[in-house]
Each structure stands twice: as C-alpha cells, then as structure tokens.
C-alpha cells in the first residue's frame, strides 16, 4: 500500500486537530505528520486511519488514538539520543513516533504474534528499534537504566520494577488504574529513593498483563 497525497492531506488535518486540542510540541506534530498510520492498521480499518480513534490490531490489542500517543509523548519531554523503554509494542506506531524524535527505542511486547509482525514491519518502513518478546512488568534490566519509560497499556499500579530501571533524572509515563479508565501518571525519578508523581487526566487503555503470550 502506498502513501498518497490523500493520506498526507488527511494527516495534515489530523495534526491540525491535535494542535487545536493542546499538543504544542512541533517535533511531535511533525513526527505524526511523517508517519503513514494507515500502514499500521488492518485493511478493514485503513479508511479510518486518520480519525482520532483507537482501532483493533489483533491479539486483543489496539492502536492508540493519535491524541493519546501525542499526549504521552509530550509528557515524556524527550531529548534527542535518549534511551527509551516502551512497554507494549503493539502495532509499533508509538515506537515509530519515538524513533522520529531521534531516540534509541527499546520496545517489549508480550503477544508473540504481534511481536513477530511488528519486528518485521517497522524496519521495512525505516524504523529501526530494539525489539523484545517478554513480560513488560519485568522490563529490560539488562539494558537499564533508561532515561525515559512509556507504558502503553493500563497498569493497576505503578510497577516498581520499572521505576528501578529508570535513570535518576528520568521520566516515566504510565496509565494507572484497575478498570476501563486509567489516570495518566508522570513519574519523575529525583534520586534512587525519591520520586515525584503527578497526574494528567483520564484515558482508556487495554490492560497490562503479566507473562508472555505465545499466540499461534
């Protein structure tokens, strides 16, 4: 599937909408403008790719709505060349946004089918990340510390194991809550023993689950 002038026009409209809703970081808006979101979606939903909505991508997962992706990314306050851990690769769309911001992306997915699909797909359209199949709650201790961590699924509480893998001075963004609605948390690591936590509105994510899922 190609990226046409029509797709680019629809992306421009989406970016203008995100800007009107308070997304101010121009680099994030440029990233969303550059990424052909329709390529990340199942054929049944391609015609809706530039609506600001979440859509199913298989394995019980969704591609997050662009506003949510932009909001989480803006909260991270990313600087070039930072090492970022993403929990929940999914379609790879969020990882692509992070990559567009000139970062080193380490991304982990527990659904084996999605892991295999996205590990092959993202590099094919120019996004080179470090892909891992595993339990997001465990993170990637071998590669820690990370300057930024983003959780793209709803966790019942802040995972201490991931706070431990965050570099002092680093930031983690995570939707926290047991039900269908979570509250976005920003965790700033002040020292090895101290964090500052602020909340930033309500969102809806698929749940963050333990262990790996083998799939078919």
- Phi, psi of 124, rounded to the nearest 5 degrees: -65, -20
Which of 32, 38, 8, 6 minimizes the C-alpha distance to 19? 32
- Distance from C-alpha of 114 to C-alpha of 112, rounded to nearest angstrom: 5
Q: Measuring CA to CA, how many Å separate 199 from each of 45, 85, 151, 177, 206?
A: 32, 20, 14, 12, 19
Question: Catalytic site residue 191?
Answer: no
Out of 64, 124, 161, 191, pick the active-site residue. 64
Q: Concatenate the DSSP letters of all residues of 39-92 into one string.
A: GGS-GGGGGGTTSS--EEEETTEEEPPHHHHHHHHHHHT--TT-EEEEE--TTS
- Distance from C-alpha of 74 to C-alpha of 97, rounded to nearest angstrom: 11
Contact 153, 206 (CB under 8 A): yes
| Catalytic residue list | 64
């Amino acid at each position: 599937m190609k990226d046409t002038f029509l797709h680019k026009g629809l992306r421009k409209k989406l970016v203008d909408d995100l800007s009107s809703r308070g997304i101010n970081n121009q680099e994030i808006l440029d990233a969303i403008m550059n990424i052909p979101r329709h390529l990340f979606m199942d054929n049944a939903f391609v015609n809706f790719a530039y609506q600001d909505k979440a859509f199913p991508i298989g394995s019980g997962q969704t591609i997050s709505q662009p506003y949510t992706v932009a909001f989480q990314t803006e909260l991270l306050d990313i600087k070039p060349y930072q090492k970022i851990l993403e929990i929940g690769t999914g379609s790879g769309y969020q990882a692509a946004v992070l990559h567009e911001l000139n970062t080193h992306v380490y991304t982990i997915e527990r659904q084996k089918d999605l892991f295999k699909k996205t590990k092959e797909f993202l590099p094919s359209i120019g996004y080179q990340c470090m892909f891992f199949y595993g339990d997001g709650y465990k993170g990637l201790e071998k590669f820690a510390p990370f300057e930024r961590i983003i959780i793209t699924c709803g966790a019942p509480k802040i995972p201490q194991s991931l706070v431990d893998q965050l570099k002092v001075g680093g930031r983690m963004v995570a939707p926290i809550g047991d039900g269908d609605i979570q509250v976005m948390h920003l965790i700033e690591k002040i020292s090895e023993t101290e964090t500052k936590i602020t909340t930033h509105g309500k969102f809806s994510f698929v749940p963050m689950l333990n262990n790996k899922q083998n799939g078919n």
